Copies of this chain bind each other. A is one copy, B any other.
Amino acid sequence: MSLIVQKFGGTSVGNTDKIKAVAERVLKCKQQGHQMVIVLSAMSGVTDQLTGYAKAVQKVPDLREMDMLLSTGEQVTIALFAMAVKQAGHDAISLLGDQVRITTDIMHTKARIKNIDTELIRKHLNAGKIVTIAGFQGVTEEGDITTLGRGGSDTTAVALAAALKADACEIFTDVDGVYTTDPNICKSARKIDRISYDEMLELASLGAKVLDIRSVSFAKRYKVPLHVRSTFTETEGTWVVEEDKIMESMLVSGVTYNKNEARITIKNVPDQPGVAAKIFLPISDAGIVVDMIIQNTTTGDLTDMTFTVMKNDYDRALLLLDKIVKDIGAESVSGSEDIAKISIVGVGMRNHSGIASTMFHILSKEGINIMMISTSEIKVSCIIEEKYTELAVRALHDAFALGKENLPVEEQDPVPAQY
């Protein structure tokens, strides 16, 4: 008997018919003899509706009250889900973050989980019930309701799986797994069967939307085998697991892109100690996140500084920099929104040299100029002109042969926690 945590997102429980379908799917799994903990999001559209109400009564909604408001969405879904399971003939019980004692810090609307008490869940599981738990929400030690921010229900599911030492945590969504690249722009994109936590973290932070980065990092820390799969099919999705030898033998696992960044360049910055802080402190104080930063080699006592910010922070950043440029005595600030970040990710890079240069070579062969480069142990990212995005993705995907299964199936380790 395994203990499995399953999480279904808002589109999977978007109306009462879908909730009934999810109940039946869960029941099938339960009838195979597993203990089931089901984490649900709010019905799709509900969170937006509630946010609309909030903005109608308070210009900048109070964060504590926002959590009080938004947490109702998941409460509705779990109650209806428990009813649907009971209608299908099995016992079930719904529990709130507060009832489970999913304690968090007090950072309303983006709280972090500190502890989960598993006693009540275990009691109901041992009584044979399907236990459904509201995603996205927790409670402070003082008893105030908190929410976990974007992707919070994924985090709830992974944290519960870790606390319960579950055999697997399955994230059901509207896609059937993690792909080697975006299937919409590259026909040969292939679903990845197994990927390491680190690769998934890079993919998530580089633009792949399928999993929330916090939940992957949680899964990595507590070694929770994560299974991303589709609500609407029975096929296996992608397992996110600990790195193994087979993964290491693959040079690149995926190609990803992100069109949401903009590039800013400050020309002729006086190359003095402390000048970088003078530029970036006011920017971070304004809540603007800077991604890549590149400082060109100094010519004389002047240097150029180039970095990227999110597109929706671009105008605000330029405005701030106009003043900063004068203060530090630099020449000018300029930038472009027509850029894209193309990245290749793979744990194999650690032991293989030449991956980065292969990437540069392929891009240059296609006549694509590289504006900025950033690397980590397991990824290489290049900033290029936005119009070349699709061409670059396809060229890299082909060059690293990602459309083909890298190994025959019989050589692969069995999927973990194969229940």
A53 and B80: CB pair below 8 A? yes
Write out the residue numbers on chain B whose beta carbons fall within 8 Å of the beta carbon of A122.
none
The CA of A357 and the CA of B50, in the complex, are separated in Å by 59
Segment 62-79 of A: residues with Cβ below 8 Å from B: 62, 64-66, 68-69, 71-72, 75-76, 78-79
CB distance from A33 to the nearest CB of B (A): 24
Q: A212 interface residue, CB < 8 Å from B?
A: no
| Chain A count of residues within 8 A CB distance of the other chain | 39
Contacts known (A19-B57, A80-B54, A98-B98); A62 close to B86, Cβ less than 8 A: yes
Q: Map CB proximity to B onto A78-117 as digits: 1 under 8 Å, 0 otherwise.
A: 1110111011000001101011000000000000000000
Decide: A65 and B94 in contact? CB cutoff 8 A.
yes
5 A-B residue pairings within 8 Å (CB atoms): A23-B57, A57-B83, A59-B87, A61-B83, A99-B143
A20 at the interface (CB under 8 A from B): yes
Q: Which residue of B lies closest to A91 (CB)?
A: B62
Q: In the complex, which of the residues A76, A83, A93 has the most CB atoms of chain B within 10 Å of its own CB atom?
A: A83
Q: When the two chains form their complex, are residues B83 and A75 in contact, meaning their CB atoms are under 8 A apart?
A: no
Copies in the complex: 2
A412 interface residue (CB < 8 Å to B)? no
The answer to whether A72 and B76 have CB atoms under 8 Å apart is yes
Q: What chain B residues lie within 8 Å of A80 (beta carbons)?
A: 53-54, 57, 65, 69
Kindly list chain B residues whose C-beta atoms are within 8 Å of the C-beta of A76.
Answer: 50, 53, 69, 72
Q: Which of B59, B68, B71, B78 contacts A78 (CB 8 A)?
A: B68
B16, B17, B57, B83: the one within 8 Å of A16 (CB): B57
Contacts of A23 in B (CB 8 A): 57
Asked whether B82 lies within 8 Å of A65 as measured between CB atoms, the reply is: yes
A58 at interface, CB cutoff 8 A: yes
Shortest Cβ gap from A79 to chain B (Å):
4
Q: Mark A5-37, 1 if CB is under 8 A from B, else 0.
A: 000000000001101100100000000000000
Q: Is the CB of A83 within 8 A of B99?
A: no
Closest 3 CB pairs of A and B: A69-B79, A58-B83, A72-B72
Which B residues touch A65, using CB under 8 A? 79-80, 82-83, 86, 94
Residues of B within 8 A of A54 (CB): 79-80, 83
Whether A16 touches B143, Cβ cut-off 8 Å, given contacts A62-B82, A69-B76, is no
Which residues of A, 137-159, contact B by the 8 Å Cβ criterion?
A: 143-145
Q: Which residues of B contact A58 (CB under 8 A)?
A: 83-84, 86-87
A1 close to chain B: CB less than 8 A: no
Docked pose: A223 CA to B64 CA in angstroms? 35
- Residues in B with CB closer than 8 Å to A72 are 72, 75-76
Instruction: Determine how close the nearest CB of chain B comes to the CB of A226; give it in whole angstroms.
Output: 28
- Determine the distance from Cα of A99 to Cα of B53 in the docked complex, in whole angstroms: 23
Contact B94 A57 (CB under 8 A): no
Q: Collect the chain B residues with CB atoms within 8 Å of residue A69's CB.
A: 75-76, 79-80, 83
Q: Does A319 contact B (CB under 8 A)?
A: no
What residue in chain B is nearest A83 (Cβ atoms)? B58
Max chain B C-beta neighbours (<10 A), residue from A20, A80, A93: A80
Q: Taking the nearest CB of chain B, how far is it from the CB of A253, in angstroms? A: 41
